[in-house]
Structure 1
Amino acid sequence: MCPTPAPAGRHWDGSPRVTHRPRPLRVTATSPSRLLRAGQHGRCRHCGNRIDLYPRTDQRPIALHPTELTAAHVPESCRWHLSGGIAHPHGDGSAWCRIPHAVLCPRRTPTCRPSPCLEALRRQLAVRTRRLTDTGAFTPALPSSGGAPAADADGPDHPVVQMLLCRYLAERPVEGLRCVAQTRHRHHCANPVLATTSPAGTWRLLPTGPQRGQLALPDTLMAVYDLGHLPYSEQLRWRAQHCPAHAAAPGVADLALAGWQPFDALLHAAHIHTRLPQPPARRHGRG
């Protein structure tokens, strides 16, 4: 007796075989934020507790406490809410809200008068910080000296970059900027933003200029990495902090926030350099 093979698309008993096709997830082009939830988590460098990073409406990042709190226990000036992945500095009318981590961080001075509930939560974070420090899982960041950093041969550690008619302070040197996009294998892209196949910016001495109505000396020159001469699409790629490969993919998501801060001549005075970075000296071989 010869066995009868099961028809294609069915099990041995004749029941239909259901195949589940993976549905690719993409970020819509109209989304105000391309950051995935997996890329929002981080650790406070002062206390080691978990934080959630979100962009604000002015594109500056803010660290929020990872859980929602009862709005009645949070001062009105400290209430935040999320909408479309963007953090807004006020409540949304609900009974819950988010709160900046700076209000609860045990290594910082509270920016507002905390309620008894917030004081209890602050003590819990302090106990967790002590536990992480005692077990060696966390080392508090050393306080900065406050002086202006010296310009090295390769360039400043936090350069001022000009693009899209605005100036931004980078989180690291231009050569060390890394793509924040997610790869097909759901890993963080390791490609640099400064690619050899794309045109690069030029270092120029430009006036500091008044920012947002502030008073500044017009004749004060500072080193700026200027991208203004590049095409508009190339400047958008730098602003999104994507490599050329991910800039061509419109639905790609991000696993980290872009490390740009809107440049402020007063707040970022320590990162102003009055001399252009010198290119590395070439070594002459013996001939």
Structure 2
Amino acid sequence: MDDCIIIGGGPAGLTAAIYLARFHLDIRLFDCGSSRAAQIPCTRNHAGFPEGISGKELLARMLAQAEKYGAVRELAEVEGLRLIEGGFGVRVGEREHAARTVLLATGVVNNRPAMPEALHDEALARGLLRYCPICDGYEVTDKRIGVIGTGSHGMAEALFLRGYSPEVTLIAPEAHALSDEEAATLDDARIARVDGPCGGYAIEDGQLALDTAEGRLNFDTVYPALGSVIRSGLAIQVGARADENGCLEVDDHQRTSVPGLFAAGDVARGLDQISHAMGEAGVAATTIRNLLAEQKPIRR
């Protein structure tokens, strides 16, 4: 039986792997290969990389560091999780692996605008499409910004980006669903409001263009504010508590409501940032080590 199985190979999962491997624990990491961090063309928001680093390069460095200390990563999707005597059963295909503890670092999946995948990836690589204003709002300072969304979530993202540029337009996926108060707040911030439906996306003259109810509009960058899907289903299978959106409830040591099951990164309630995910993973890994030591002394 492994001491810990980590599910998820993003910044949280790999940080935990580094810590746990250096604690001389027997661990295994399953990575389905879909970390959001891998989609980042270049982050200049991550401390220690003043010239920026791509998400893929950062993950590759972290994996190499974890493997240096004996961590084992397998590219595979975990399909099931159950409680067994002494821990958890983790199902991967036809196999089941047993572990005394499990750390869930499965993250979230962004809801994307309806555009062809090839166009989406090109726009993302060129900075014409962005998903994290906290990470890269600085890069769009004083540029023409479109935000696709509506309601309180769309309004909040548009207001946040208004701190970077005077030219922000909130575009509804279909028609706007804003209260009078929300509309007044946007008007007060001089954020334009345009109804959808959105469509006809294309890169034109170095900008991302799309059709709206007011005709075709072009932007230097577009932020989808369409929410995300939290990948917490495995934890919920074994009874872990989550909020109405699916974010797992954890305590200040990253413990879920199920003993021995931990969560770190975007799958848990908190700030969706690489640095925050790494910090949570360090806390979780240290708590896991101490929990295991209480059950059976760790000796060399």
Please classify the TM superposition score into its range, dividing by the shorter chain length.
under 0.3
Task: Judging by fraction of residues, say which structure has more helix.
Answer: 2
> Taking structure 1 as the reference length, what is the TM-score of the superposition?
0.24
Q: Which has the larger radius of gyration?
A: 1
